[in-house]
Amino acid sequence: MRKKWRALDLFCGAGGAAVGLKMAGFDEVVGMDINPQPDYPFDFVQCDVIKYFPDFFPFDFIWASPPCQAYSQLTFRNKTMKETYGDLMEPTRARLEVTGLPYCIENVPLAPMRQDIVLTGAMFGMRILRRRWFECKGFFSLTPTQKQTTCEVRVISGAGFGKGPKNIRDAQEAMQIFWTDNLKSLAEAVPPKYSEYIGRAFLRSRNAI
């Protein structure tokens, strides 16, 4: 019988990373977030991700996207904002290390993390820039080469939509996320193409695809 591959999606938001992991070949993805996520497309547990970490992990891989506001360029320029947002990177990494499982941490440039992989929308022919860093443990992947795109680029940042979009549909198409029409969720989401790329790298490392 073929092994079923399971991923845990921490700080999951509306599920951008989760959908990408499913596209990569994971059989099951379970999301966790402190806030309600009515649009999350798979099994979801509402909880404090840092405080609630079960002793037993029936998962093969963990994806974590700690809130990025503490590391955004806007926060770095604004001392008051920097004091407002907590730093969840180190607590998250510490919890992940305890599990002994392979993992990927995703965040914005300037976050206190390794740059094992750097992805942008242009690498996948998308209409967004959305440069993101990824710290990976337990598997290896190369950063893809950047593709040329003739599409109009929409700058979509974690804090909102920079130069666009024209409307919700435009944002959905730019991000390739169609199961939520919540503007905040779209602005904070991980493009599924990113997690699909990394999820495939993990599964290839396990000869699963």
Alpha carbon distance 34, 5 (integer Å): 25
Residue 83 half-sphere exposure toward CB, CA atoms < 13 A: 3
Give the model's pLDDT for residue 148: 52
Low-confidence ranges of the chain (pLDDT < 50): 76, 150-153, 155-160
Question: Which backbone phi and psi does 44 adopt, to 5 degrees?
Answer: -135, 140
- CA distances (Å), 194 to each of 3, 19, 26, 132, 136, in order? 24, 10, 14, 9, 13
CB–CB of 57/98 below 8 Å? no
**For residue 139, which of 63, 78, 82 has the smallest C-alpha distance?**
63
H/E run at residue 46? strand 43-46
Q: Which domains does the chain have, with CATH numbers?
A: 6-121+131-141+190-205 (3.40.50.150)
Six-digit token pair at 120?
């942008």
Q: Which residue type occupies 69? A: Q
DSSP letter at 154 equals B
Give pLDDT tens digits for 13-61. Answer: 999 999 999 999 999 999 999 999 999 999 999 999 998 876 667 999 9
